[in-house]
Chain A
């Protein structure tokens, strides 16, 4: 089993460009999350999903959109990238044990 995978691993964008980050899981977990990690700020929740076809905003949702058309995939979109979105993005899924989340390897995004 691959667990949680993320594509791409690295990306450089120019300001105003758009892109989609893909998170895929093979653990059949209902809950999926997108976080961003910035130096000195820990992990902050962008959006989350409690099941196929449902999404909701987290702590820092502005500038991002998400979709969960299939249970195993959770997509994070940036419609018009800004330098403030330079960060490392992590996807996570939640098992049956409450609150224990499994993380993907991360995507390092730089916006110039």
Chain B
């Protein structure tokens, strides 16, 4: 059975701290790994990773994928209260032309940043 596991499930930090969120996966036909940020409503897309070892960066957020060890990390440096959210990891699977873009999601990590 396909599985995506995130850790920790929740995390409380203070502004300025650096956090690392983890995502490990076991899927039959890996295509890509995606990170989403979910505040009060809809998940919003952060990164998509398809190749090992290539870091994706956006401001204070960065992410990297290890396809050999089947995991990804999301780093947030100099955290701010606006970073408080649920961070979701999802793995995209497919089988060539029949792919329908299936995403298998992890449980999410709830990040709380205190002032």
A30-47 near B? 1/0 per residue, CB < 8 Å:
010000000011111100
- 22 chain-A/chain-B pairs, Cβ below 8 angstroms: A40-B9, A41-B107, A42-B4, A42-B88, A42-B107, A42-B108, A43-B43, A44-B105, A45-B102, A45-B103, A48-B100, A50-B100, A98-B99, A98-B101, A99-B31, A99-B34, A100-B34, A102-B45, A103-B42, A103-B43, A104-B42, A106-B42
Interface size (A, Cβ < 8 Å)? 24
Closest to B48 in A: A100
Whether A84 is near chain B, meaning CB under 8 Å from some CB there, is no
List, in ascending order, chain A residues with CB within 8 A of B88's CB.
42-43
B31, A98: Cβ atoms closer than 8 Å = yes
Tell me the complex Cα distance, A4–B9, Å: 28
Q: Could you tell me the distance in whole angstroms from the C-beta of B114 to the nearest C-beta in chain A?
A: 22
List, in ascending order, chain B residues with CB within 8 A of A41's CB.
107
Interface size (B, Cβ < 8 Å)? 25
A98-B101, A99-B31 given; name 20 further pairs at CB < 8 Å. Answer: A40-B107, A42-B88, A42-B105, A43-B43, A43-B88, A43-B105, A44-B105, A58-B102, A90-B43, A98-B31, A98-B92, A99-B34, A99-B48, A99-B92, A99-B103, A102-B45, A105-B41, A105-B42, A106-B41, A106-B42
